[in-house]
Amino acid sequence: MRFLNEMRAIENVVRAILREGGIKLGTPSRAAFAAKVREMAAGDPLVMAIAEPLLAVLATMLGEFARLTKRILDIIKGEPVCRHLTSIPGVEPITALAFRATIDRPERFGKSRAVSAHLGLTPSRYQSGETDIQSRISRCGDELARTALYEAAHSLLTRSKKWSSLKAWGQGIAKRRRMARARVAVARKLAVVLHRMWNDGEDFRFGKEASAKAGSAAA
């Protein structure tokens, strides 16, 4: 997950460079990121002179990431739980494996909602007398699994082409309260969904897009 965070950090630097040149990149997939940058900034040699070395670093990292992913795919071929969990849009093999290793035995948790607290994805609270303050997420628990869920949430919200009620819910939060809060909220939901799918053997529920749209129109 640190590897993914480093890649995202470099991507964000490139985005910042493009913004300084008045170029808004949008949300291309990681594989299409470099090509999109070159396409959008082709007419600005100064921006490209700064961005190109970073794109070269990203290309190297992307190659290594592909090799790492292949190894993980080989591992989860013998892991039916991981294969089942990757049926959720945005949940890649690394996320499924990190969640599987961290939770270990799903029956340890009486309720699926307890998993998000275990991973530090619920808001921390300070209570004293009449004071009750709810702050940012606690960040307790396993950092690897928590970061993996952030990555899955980001992928679900910005890269996945498949509609689901979870994605629609997260995008609604992003519009009202910004993408950073939406990622945390969706990561929290994903922890619950992953545990329930694993513990109960359920399939991921995409929801009904038509009925959801009709309900939005009626509201």
* Segment 52-66 mean pLDDT: 93
- Cα distance between residue 66 and residue 62, in whole Å: 6
Specify the pLDDT at position 63: 92
* Segment 78-100 mean pLDDT: 92
Specify the pLDDT at position 142: 67
Of the listed ranges 18-27, 65-74, 107-116, 130-139, the least confidently predicted one is 130-139
Residue type, 74: D
Q: What tokens were used for 103?
A: 């939770």
Enumerate the β-bridge partners of residue 132.
127
What is the rounded average pLDDT for all residues in the chain? Answer: 84
Would residue 89 be called left, alpha or beta, if left means φ above 0 and alpha means ψ between -120 and 50 degrees? beta
pTM of structure:
0.66
Confidence of residue 123 (pLDDT cuts 50, 70, 90): low
Residue type, 48: M
Read out DSSP for the chain? -HHHHHHHHHHHHHHHHHHHTT-------TTTHHHHHHHHTTT-HHHHHHHHHHHHHHHHHHHHHHHHHHHHHHHHTT-HHHHHHTTSTT--HHHHHHHHHHH--GGG-SSTHHHHHHTT-SEEEEEETTEEEEEEE---S-HHHHHHHHHHHHHHHHT--S--HHHHHHHHHHHHH-HHHHHHHHHHHHHHHHHHHHHH-PPP----HHHHHHHHHH-
- Cα distance between residue 130 and residue 150, in whole Å: 34
**pLDDT digit string, tens, across residues 157-183:** 998 889 999 999 999 999 999 998 999
pLDDT at 140 over 80: no
